[in-house]
Amino acid sequence: MTTREPTPLDRLFLNHLDDVGELILVRHGQQEWPDPENSVSGDWVDPPLSDLGRRQAAAVGQYLADTKIDAVYSSALSRAHDTGKAIADHHNLEPIVRLDLREIQFYGELPDDKRASDILGTDVVRATGNRFIQERRWDVYPATESSLSFRRRIALEIEAAIADRVGQTVVIACHGGVINIYLAELLGMTADMFFRPAHASVHRLSFGHDRRIVTSLGEVAHLVGELHTI
């Protein structure tokens, strides 16, 4: 079998090269949603997987079972960690927890035992949501981590996870906002959220020593019927 010399396009997109790794970003399964009428801000930070979410986590674990995976990382939040564990168990691995892979927290600088509307007012909360629809930037939310800070935090954590793993396959179980912000930074996009990943969906990148290439977004073939939720 003849091995051809890589072309400039091959080198640009990391095709037919040695020492190329694969980064697999997985959104967590569906979480238990707190009751909006009888909950405070803290209730929304770390809800567990729902029954459906556990089935979604099992499905993505099975989907990746035949992939040779060298490491699994996860957010410390239970919905991401438990999804990561459902993947790691097929490979005799344990998820490596990285605290800064956590999701952005709306109004995270406000007291956990209050609702944002109690402090800022219902009109402000409604107007903020409307602004986010238009601008797609976390900066519109008061008392919330800035877009720049979130981008820097997530880029640093993901790059640290893959820095010494060129040539390996790395899974990171995390959150929809995390997946968006990392891809937006790579692609030079100003929007912090440009698509809505399904629960337990799979997103792949190739990575070399100095290049990251998006190869697929939104794999959901393993999620059929009720398992496909956003």
Asked if 208 and 14 touch (Cβ cutoff 8 Å), the reply is: yes
Sequence-distant (6+) residues with CB within 8 A of 228 are 198, 220
Sequence-distant (6+) residues with CB within 8 A of 59 are 200, 222, 223, 227
Q: Which residues are catalytic?
A: 28, 103
Match 């959220």 to its residue by tokens.
193
Angle at 127 between CA 35 and CA 40, to 5 degrees: 25
**DSSP-based three-state secondary structure for 222:** coil
